[in-house]
Amino acid sequence: MIKPLAVLSGAAALSATPTVPAVATTSDSTQTTITAATATSTACGSYALQGGLATQVCAERTGDQVRLYGTLGLAGPPSPGTPMPYRKDVVISLTGTTPAGTVNQYVLFTGSNQQVGDITGTVPCDTPVRGSFSVSSYPLGPAPVRIDTVIPC
């Protein structure tokens, strides 16, 4: 079945254009997603290079529940002549003081962005969320990234 497609022009097209929020890369950034009955807010710390990878620690709040996780990604394009997929053995450590917990994990990074580690707990509203994320890959040692911010409820 073929359905007609409406083409918008002028003011109607402008009002139909989605807006994309700006994302800060040098400081904590917060993004809010509204779900059925609960708002989810996400804050991420600054990116840093660790073990030859771009790393970041993020916290996601839904009500009084907070989830800490780290992200891994390529720091830039692979070197010429490097076979794809890019594979790297890394050891990650995710530590949360609010919520409390520790995750130490071996990860095989294969070139695509990925979330690693997961610490979930109850954190009262208006209480800072604190955590750190470190990555090491021989011969490069860790240089932890941190988050210490209040995520609104």
- pLDDT tens sequence across 96-124: 887 889 999 888 888 788 899 899 999 99
* pLDDT for res 7: 39
- Average pLDDT, stretch 1-27? 39
Confidence bin at 17 (pLDDT 50/70/90): very low
Contact 38, 90 (CB under 8 A): no
Residues 6+ apart with CB under 8 A from 48: 54, 55, 56, 143, 145
- Please name the amino acid found at residue 152: P
- pLDDT tens sequence across 19-68: 333 333 334 555 545 444 578 999 999 999 888 789 999 999 999 899 99
CB environment 40-65: b (16+ within 10 A), e (fewer):
bbbbbbbbbebbebbbbbbbbbbeee
- pLDDT tens sequence across 76-98: 777 777 666 566 778 888 888 87
Contact 146, 45 (CB under 8 A): yes
Cα separation, 84 vs 2, whole angstroms = 41
- pLDDT tens sequence across 131-145: 999 988 878 878 889
Q: How far is CA 88 from CA 69, 79, 84, in A?
A: 19, 14, 11
* pLDDT for res 1: 46
Q: For each of the domains in the chain, give its residue range(s) and CATH number, in order of start.
A: 25-76+83-149 (2.60.40)
